[in-house]
Chain A
Amino acid sequence: AQSVTQLGSHVSVSEGALVLLRCNYSSSVPPYLFWYVQYPNQGLQLLLKYTSAATLVKGINGFEAEFKKSETSFHLTKPSAHMSDAAEYFCAVSDSGGSNYKLTFGKGTLLTVNP
């Protein structure tokens, strides 16, 4: 069974500072990895995904993540935080496609951005 661990339930940065949200995964097969963002009172939106192509994945809103197999990590970064980035961020893993496909989510990291 696959799982993800998000280190830090709450990350606080200043506007303009680097954003780093950590995610480590566990999977018995090559994983598909995702980052989703949830703004207050909304559903989740996909930021980016890794599906065994390039290890550095660029997503929306200036976010990117790097798949590191040796470290079983898929950390999310953004060079310069914006106030609008304040939200809950979820890392997720799946094993493959097919009808049994399901995403397993981490417990989320709340990002706050201070002016």
Chain B
Amino acid sequence: DTAVSQTPKYLVTQMGNDKSIKCEQNLGHDTMYWYKQDSKKFLKIMFSYNNKELIINETVPNRFSPKSPDKAHLNLHINSLELGDSAVYFCASRAKNEKLFFGSGTQLSVL
């Protein structure tokens, strides 16, 4: 059973389209995150949610809108996709001992 699962694993789309990435964790954690990993492997936090509430928004363009219907899910919707949005997006959830559990990533390619 996968602890943090993301779908889809690969996403190829045209500029200007709107797309969503889904994330679910079955660990019972309260806090979830979205991280973006660029082509140079640099990982940058985008959002953090705690029990369905937005806690951290790291100056991400408002084309990116996270949604947390419940504490086990944190989805990422992206409007008007741009070339620069191409990256690997990782969802993670946090245990009480500070450990982060990561999903396997969604590779987004904007053409």
* Chain A interface residues (CB < 8 Å from chain B): 32, 34, 36, 38, 41-46, 49, 51, 88, 90, 94, 97, 99-105, 107-108, 110
Contact = CB atoms under 8 A, between A and B. Distances in A.
B41 A108 contact: yes
B98 A32 contact: yes
Contacts, number: 57
A74 to B, nearest CB: 15
Chain B interface, DSSP helix/strand/loop, else mixed: strand
Nearest to A43: B102
B98 A101 contact: yes
26 contacts: A32-B98, A38-B41, A41-B104, A42-B105, A43-B4, A43-B90, A43-B92, A43-B102, A44-B90, A44-B92, A44-B102, A94-B98, A97-B98, A100-B48, A100-B55, A100-B56, A101-B94, A102-B33, A102-B45, A103-B100, A105-B43, A107-B40, A107-B41, A108-B41, A108-B42, A108-B43
